[in-house]
A and B are shown apart, each in its own frame.
Chain A
Amino acid sequence: MKPAVFDYHSPADLEEALRLLDEFGYDAKIMSGGQSLIPMMNMRLARPQVIIDINNISELSYIQVTDSVIKIGGLTRHYQVEESKEIERVCPLLTEGMKLIGHSQIRSRGTIGGSIVHADPTAELPVMMTLLGAEFTLASPDGKRTVTTDEFFLTYLTTTIDMNEILVSIDIPIPSTRTGYAIDEFTLRKGDFAIVLAAASVTLSEDGTIASASLCLGGVDGVPVLLEEVTEGMIGQVPSTELIAESCEQIADLVEPEPDIHASSEYRKDLCITYAKRVLERAAERAALL
């Protein structure tokens, strides 16, 4: 349970980090919070020759909230987002979802960029980012590019990020008023990775009918799954338990989760429906209060 030998670099700025990444190529691994990478190194599932520790690059750690967008630096830690009053004001979903990530000891170190690049299909951040329509900015020695969640997440633990790229910033559009959110998940023990998780948003019109709604599931496929088929039929209707229950029944035909030692495919489907209903109802209730 001890990591293999590696060379260690801790650059003080992004430019130097990118230069090192370019120099060492596939031999190198970026380390941010280390809360996924170090367990894998301890178990020798990962044996990088070179670690480029970005923890000293303070320019990558920030939260900026403008009228229309939340900007979060790649190195910003989970607890910083969890405790940000600004974020809670404009996007309470993030505050709620952050508390579901592991335990406070993990969130002290874990970073937003690390969770997104790690791309675990049952992780909270990729699901929330997909629901919210976030965009990611990736920097390489050749410059920067911005990608959508759809372009970014490819499959289990796999993203479009190139060997010489660093996720430097995350842009989350701030939703219109009267949008309610909710996220919830099924875990075997508090703080474990979820078996299934669901996040939803519901926006209400002046007359109390649903103007728009979204539902995103994790743990059913290699990437977070947005289920537009479930929510598009709800538009223009007054939210009710029956409407939501009826819309969610079709989830059984829309997802085909893989079975594993924790849960069969059928059980996961049942969980998806239960949790989808729960978060859509909560999101609608919260929107009605705004």
Chain B
Amino acid sequence: MTQSNSKEITLTVNGKQYTTSVEPRMLLSDVLRDELGLTGTHVGCEHGICGACTITMDGRPVRSCLVFGVQANQAEIRTVEGLAEPDGSLHPLQEAFWEKHGLQCGFCTPGVLMSACHFLEQNPNPSREEIREGISGNLCRCTGYQNIVDAVEMAAEMLNKNKKSEEETSDLEIVHSGRKVEV
């Protein structure tokens, strides 16, 4: 029952497909960090409490320390490495955390960002109370949370502004090309 029970899995992480062989007892957090070299996902408690290892799996936030790698076969995963653009420009959430000092040591940050990212997709105009609820599954020992809430609030505004200007640009394009488009 040692090496011989390894299984081959194929998973997509941040849009890139990986195939690797893992022992069933290997946690998804360890597959990401040790097999795929994606050490952005942090590991704190390994029993589901701290939230540092939060990623999204098939569009839902999950604890990667409470999923086995073999269970992620064929899954679509997003980690903190998938937030920034390929050219290195930051995701609005990352920019807002920078701007508002939403981190100190940074250990909790990858998990907080992944939770907040999913939270803002579900709830683009949250109140501060809702933001607190949204990040309640992530523990931070440094910041006292105030600046994290400020940062998520700022990111929500930035994302909404981006969405609006995208809409405006596409309106402009329609006008420029002179075509009439049914909306």
- Interface of chain B, main secondary structure: mixed
Q: Please state if A42 and B27 are interface contacts (CB–CB under 8 Å).
A: yes
Per-position 1/0 for B1-34, Cβ under 8 A of A: 1100101000000000000000111010010000
Q: Please state if B46 and A1 are interface contacts (CB–CB under 8 Å).
A: yes
Q: Please state if B66 and A39 are interface contacts (CB–CB under 8 Å).
A: yes
Q: Please state if A105 and B63 are interface contacts (CB–CB under 8 Å).
A: yes
- The distance in angstroms between the C-alpha atoms of A2 and B69, with both chains bound, is 13
Contacts of A190 in B (CB 8 A): 133, 136
- The distance in angstroms between the C-alpha atoms of A219 and B119, with both chains bound, is 31
Known: A39-B66, A42-B47. A2 touches B71 (CB 8 A): no
Whether B109 sits at the interface, judged by CB under 8 Å, is: no
Chain A: residues with Cβ within 8 Å of the partner, total of 30
Q: Please state if A8 and B65 are interface contacts (CB–CB under 8 Å).
A: no
Contact among B5, B24, B47, B61 with A39 in the assembled complex (CB-CB below 8 Å): B47
Distance from B119 Cβ to chain A, minimum over Cβ atoms (Å): 8
- The distance in angstroms between the C-alpha atoms of A151 and B134, with both chains bound, is 38
- The distance in angstroms between the C-alpha atoms of A49 and B137, with both chains bound, is 31
Q: Please state if A104 and B47 are interface contacts (CB–CB under 8 Å).
A: no
Q: Chain B: interface residue count, which band?
A: 20 to 34
A49, closest chain B residue (CB)? B1
Whether A11 sits at the interface, judged by CB under 8 Å, is: no
Which of B48-76 touch A at CB < 8 Å?
Answer: 48, 51, 54, 57, 60-63, 65-68, 70-71
Contacts of A34 in B (CB 8 A): 66-68, 71
Known: A7-B5, A55-B71, A105-B51. A42 touches B62 (CB 8 A): no
Per-position 1/0 for A26-63, Cβ under 8 A of B: 00000000110011011100000101010100000000
Q: Shortest 7 CB-CB distances between A and B: which pairs? A: A103-B137, A8-B24, A39-B47, A108-B60, A1-B46, A190-B136, A38-B66
Q: List 26 A-B contacts (CB under 8 A).
A: A2-B25, A4-B25, A5-B5, A6-B1, A6-B25, A7-B24, A8-B68, A10-B71, A35-B66, A38-B65, A39-B47, A39-B66, A42-B47, A49-B1, A53-B71, A79-B60, A102-B137, A104-B119, A105-B61, A106-B48, A108-B61, A108-B62, A109-B66, A190-B133, A190-B136, A191-B136
